[in-house]
Structure 1
Amino acid sequence: MKLSLTSWSLRACSLDEAAAISRALGINALDIGYFYGPALDKAELLAHPGKAAERVRGLGIDLPNFYHLFGSTLSDRNLANPANREANEADLKIVAGFCKRAGIPTIFVLPGVCNPGQGRAVALKESAESLRRLLPLAQDQGVQLTIEPHVHSFLESPQLVLDLLGAVPGLKLTLDYAHFVCMGWRQDEIDALAPHAAHVHLRQARPGALQTKVHQGTINFEAQLATLRDAGYSGRLSLEYVHQDYMDTLHDDVLTETIVLRDQVKAWLS
């Protein structure tokens, strides 16, 4: 297992600055997406994927994961709405080709929400159908498609996640324990998802708070890392402290908490 850094943690930086900070911190890897300063323009990527791939290869840093959001919000063009399938498939085909050219091995997308008239069961059924169509588009490019279960999605329990994975053979997770911890799930309940992880986000959390300072949360990182190792995980551990309106993650010194967590993880890995 090795570290990475999410570009959206460094929201005021350019993409080149974010890559330089990752190198300066000894991490040497950067997850990228469409958000804040260190980001790619989605319209430009979809129109000119080869040019976008050349741009990110020029950063001279490992790029383990790409965060693709189909719409502009959590609900816009979400996977549980069947009306979005044709447009989403067209976009993911391009994005997967971009990732292949850029040397990015995994893509993560969001699973969807409960749309008007839907409950969790219907949302899961529709999302599974969408994902069964999307998965081969990534596989054809040698890229692993993953989903990230998150607060406000229909996937708000470990069992629902397992149900969706069972319905879409080959699908993997970008796994962030914090999304479950903040909803009150015990860490040992979340551990059941570790064997399905293809990418991992790390930040501290506690019930009621998606993000807290490293020394104020309830996630036992040493236990989590051991669970991932014992499940055979050998991918990236991406540090994801953020400054965002989403779930009130506005109150932490992102760089300080990133460094403290980096040191904690490195001490365990060594």
Structure 2
Amino acid sequence: MKLSVTAWSFPACNLNECASISIALGINALDVGLHYRSGLNRDEILSDPLTAAAKIRALIITVPNYYHQFGDGIVAQNLSLPGALDQNTRDIEQVLRFADAAEIASVFILPGVINPGQSRDQAAAQSAVAIKELLQVARHHKAKLCVEPHVQSWAESPALVERLIDQTGIGLALDYSHFTCLGYRQDEIDPLAKYACHVHLRQAKMGHLQAKFAQGTLNFPAMFATLRDAGYQGHLALEAVHQDYMNTLTEDVLTETILMRDCFQNWKG
């Protein structure tokens, strides 16, 4: 296992500056997405994926993962939305062409939300149908397509996530913090480790998606061992953030990134 840092951790920095921070911290890997000053151009990825990929290769830094949203925010064009599948299928073909050309190992998407008039079960069923179709496209690409269960999605429990995996075979961008803040114990989340294609690291506690490293409840040495024992060999993305989502505005992102880096390096020896 090795570390990366998420570009969206530093919302005021452009992409080259984020890459430079990663290099300065000795991490030398950067996850990319669509948000903030470092955000990639979604329209360019969808219309000219090879040109978009060339810009990523020019960073001269490993880019292990790309976070794609089909629309603006977590609601627009989400996987549980009836009628969105045809466009999402066309989009994911271009996204994966971009990822392959940029030598990005994995792409994560969100599972969808409970849309107006839907029950949780209906949202889950629609999402499963969509994911199966998207995975058919992904079969023809090197980049692995995975999903990140998150707070405010329909997939807010380990049991619901395991059901989705059983139905579709999708892998996970696994982030313990989304379950921890909803009150799940770490040992209740651990069984998901064997499905991880990518991992996010952030301290959390019940009621708080993000907490200061010394004030959260996640036991990271135990987590690292769980992932290792499950056979995970990919990147662990340091994802302390400064954003409005779920009141994650109060931590010193650079300090939290360094503390998590040091925690992993000390465990790894």
TM-score (norm 2): 0.99
1:133-192 deviations in Å (ceiling 9; x for gaps): 0012122111111000000000010000000000002x1000000000000000000001
1:109-120 alignment, distance < 5 Å: 109-120=109-120
Aligned equivalent of 1:247 = 246
Q: Spell out, residue by residue over 1:207-261, the C-alpha distance to the aligned partner (whole angstroms, 9 max, x if none).
A: 0000011101000001111110110111100000000000000000000110011
| SS of 2:233 mapped into structure 1 | coil
Pairwise CA distance, 1:41: 1.1
Question: C-alpha separation between the residues in 1 aligned to 2:116 and 2:10?
Answer: 35
Q: Distance in 1 between matches of 2:48 and 2:10?
A: 25
Letter in 2 for 1:130: A
1:106-145 equivalent positions in 2, closer than 5 A: 106-145=106-145
Deviation at 1:82, TM superposition (A): 2.4
Task: Name the SS for the 1:174 alignment partner.
Answer: strand
Structure 1 CA distance for aligned equivalents of residues 40 and 80 of structure 2? 25
**What amino acid sits opposite 1:164 in the alignment?**
L
User: How far apart in 1 are the matches of 2:75 and 2:8?
Assistant: 20
**Separation in 1, partners of 2:27, 2:39:** 18
Once the two structures are superposed, residues 96-121 of structure 1 have per-residue CA deviations (whole angstroms, 9 ceiling, x without a partner) of 00000000010000000111121111
- Deviation of 1:45 after TM superposition, in Å, equals 1.8
Does structure 2 conserve the Cα–Cα contact (< 8 Å) formed by 1:113 and 1:154? yes
Q: Paired residue for 1:62?
A: 62
User: 1:135-214 alignment to 2 at 5 Å?
Assistant: 135-169=135-169, 171-214=170-213
**Hey, what's the Cα distance between the residues in 2 that align with 1:154 and 1:133?**
19
Report deviation, 1:10: 1.0
Which letter maps to 1:222?
P
Correspondence 1:28 to 2:28:
yes
The equivalences for 1:8-27 within 5 A come to 8-27=8-27
Contact 1:52/1:98, CA 8 A, preserved across alignment: yes
1:44 CA drift (Å): 1.8
AA of the residue aligned to 1:215: A
CA contact (8 A) 1:4 1:29 kept: yes
Q: Distance in 1 between matches of 2:97 and 2:57?
A: 14
Distance in 1 (CA, whole Å) between partners of 2:72 and 2:38 is 17
Secondary structure, aligned partner of 1:20: helix
SS at match of 1:189: helix
Q: Cα deviation per residue 1:3-49 (whole Å; 9 max; x = unaligned)?
A: 00000001111101110110010000000010101121111221211
Match of 2:235 in 1: 236
Distance across 2 between alignment mates of 1:219 and 1:41: 34
2:187 is paired with a residue whose SS is helix
Give the letter for the 2:95 counterpart: V
- SS in structure 2 opposite 1:150? coil
Q: For residue 215 of structure 1, what is the aligned residue in structure 2?
A: 214
Structure 2 partner of 1:269: 268
How many residue pairs end up in the alignment? 269
Cα contact 1:82–1:130 (8 A) shared by 2? no
CA distance in 1, matches of 2:5, 2:139: 25
Aligned-residue CA RMSD in angstroms? 0.7
> What SS is found at the alignment partner of 1:83?
coil
Structure 2 unaligned runs (5+)? none
Gap runs ≥5 in structure 1: none
Counterpart of 1:257 in structure 2: which amino acid?
E
Q: Which amino acid aligns with 1:51?
A: T
